[in-house]
């Protein structure tokens, strides 16, 4: 048999051998035992008392002359700032949320006529000492404000509470997985995967709202109770079983 014939026969033989080898690998993978796992869900809860409050204050003035109306609104807002400063509210915790100038219109016989202006200025105030919230409400209500909303209670560091809730959720999942594995006569292995499936951070809770319209609120301090809120988190964890 010459060299050309020998080379022609070797190539098909190699192809057949590779095919048989690949088939053998495939059968071995299909017959290999699958890893045993257990999937559980865990929920964590963290109860915490809000550590800050938010108050929204609005001053509104109206009249025929824009300069006079603006000046009057500014004078009232200066009084509000002074009151806030007496309670130790820092500049970074006072934010102007809106300043509006609107024409005051009068409609007569199908025609509109401008009779004056309405100027409004609104502030958002973050109160770090919740115990002062009622006193602050009472204080600014005597400064000629038109509207007060709040306090709304919340947290200065909500991420910290969310992390604590996640840790509690993982611990809950671990306890459930250990109980299930023990009941099934198996040993719990390592974590194969873990996913956060949910979380809940309570929204700020408004307590009080009033329109002053230039009148002074009740002379007594507004009662304030911050209560307690609950932060929750959910996770799904997959463990291997030994």
For every residue of 71-97, DSSP letters joined together read: HHHHHHHHHHHHHHHHTT--GGGEEEE
Positive or negative, the CA dihedral 206, 207, 211, 214 is: negative
Task: Check whether residue 98 and residue 218 sit in a common domain.
Answer: yes
- Give the CATH number of the domain where residue 177 resides: 3.30.110.170
Name every residue whose Cβ is closer than 8 Å to that of residue 236 and which is 6 or more positions away in sequence.
Answer: 39, 40, 41, 42, 173, 194, 195, 197
Task: Check whether residue 177 and residue 211 sit in a common domain.
Answer: no
Higher per-residue pLDDT: 189 or 207: 189
The pLDDT-based confidence of 35 (bands split at 50, 70, 90) is confident
Task: Give the Cβ contact number of residue 90 at 10 Å.
Answer: 10
Mean residue pLDDT of the chain comes to 82
- In the numeric block, which tokens belong to residue 133? 């919230």
pLDDT given at position 207? 55
Q: Is 114:62 a contact under the CB 8 Å cutoff?
A: no
56-65, 95-104, 205-214 — which is least confidently predicted? 205-214
Q: Is 126:24 a contact under the CB 8 Å cutoff?
A: no
Task: Check whether residue 219 and residue 114 sit in a common domain.
Answer: yes
Task: Check whether residue 140 and residue 189 sit in a common domain.
Answer: no
Task: Check whether residue 191 and residue 210 sit in a common domain.
Answer: no
pLDDT at 203 over 80: no
Task: Check whether residue 103 and residue 219 sit in a common domain.
Answer: yes
Task: Check whether residue 76 and residue 131 sit in a common domain.
Answer: yes
pTM over 0.75: no
Q: What phi, psi does 61 have (nearest 5°)?
A: -130, 150
pLDDT in tens, 92-131: 999 999 999 999 998 887 888 899 999 999 999 999 998 8
- In the numeric block, which tokens belong to residue 74? 């500014």
Task: Check whether residue 61 and residue 136 sit in a common domain.
Answer: yes
Task: Check whether residue 42 and residue 104 sit in a common domain.
Answer: no
Task: Check whether residue 20 and residue 93 sit in a common domain.
Answer: no
With vertex at residue 19, the alpha carbon angle to CA 18 and CA 21, rounded to the nearest 5 degrees, is: 65
pLDDT at 204 over 90: no
Task: Check whether residue 124 and residue 216 sit in a common domain.
Answer: yes
Please give the tally of structural domains in the chain.
3
**Owning domain of residue 18:** 1-32
pLDDT cut 90: percent of the chain above it? 62
pLDDT in tens, 124-158: 999 999 889 989 998 998 898 999 988 889 999 99
Give burial (CB, 10 Å; 0-12/13-18/19+) of 87. Answer: middle
Three-state secondary structure string covering 186-231: CCEEEEEEEEEEEEECCCCEECCEEECCCCCCCCCCCCCCCCCEEE
- In the numeric block, which tokens belong to residue 130? 């919740």
pLDDT (mean) for 78-102: 96
- Give the CATH number of the domain where residue 97 resides: 3.30.70.2970
pLDDT in tens, 155-182: 999 999 999 999 999 999 999 999 999 9
pLDDT given at position 223? 59
Task: Check whether residue 123 and residue 212 sit in a common domain.
Answer: yes
């Amino acid at each position: 048999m010459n060299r050309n014939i020998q080379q022609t026969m070797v190539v098909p033989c190699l192809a057949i051998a590779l095919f048989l080898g690949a088939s053998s690998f495939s059968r071995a993978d299909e017959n290999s035992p699958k890893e045993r796992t257990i999937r559980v869900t865990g929920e964590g809860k963290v109860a915490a008392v809000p550590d800050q409050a938010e108050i929204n204050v609005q001053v509104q003035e109206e009249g025929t002359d824009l300069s006079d109306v603006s000046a009057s609104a500014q004078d009232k807002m200066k009084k509000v700032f002074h009151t806030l400063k007496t309670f130790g509210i820092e500049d970074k915790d006072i934010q102007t949320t809106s300043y509006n100038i609107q024409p005051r219109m009068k409609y007569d016989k199908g025609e509109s006529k401008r009779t004056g202006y309405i100027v409004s200025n609104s502030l958002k105030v973050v109160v770090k000492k919740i115990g002062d919230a009622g006193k602050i409400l009472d204080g600014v209500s005597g400064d000629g404000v038109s509207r007060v909303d709040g306090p709304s209670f919340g947290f200065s560091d909500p991420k910290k509470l969310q992390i604590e809730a996640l840790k509690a959720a993982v611990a809950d999942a671990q306890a459930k997985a250990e109980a299930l594995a023990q009941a099934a006569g198996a040993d719990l292995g390592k974590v194969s995967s873990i996913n956060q499936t949910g979380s809940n951070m309570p929204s700020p809770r408004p307590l009080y709202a009033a329109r002053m319209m230039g009148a002074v609120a009740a002379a007594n301090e507004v009662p304030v109770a911050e209560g307690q809120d609950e932060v929750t988190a959910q996770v799904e964890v997959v463990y291997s079983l030994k």
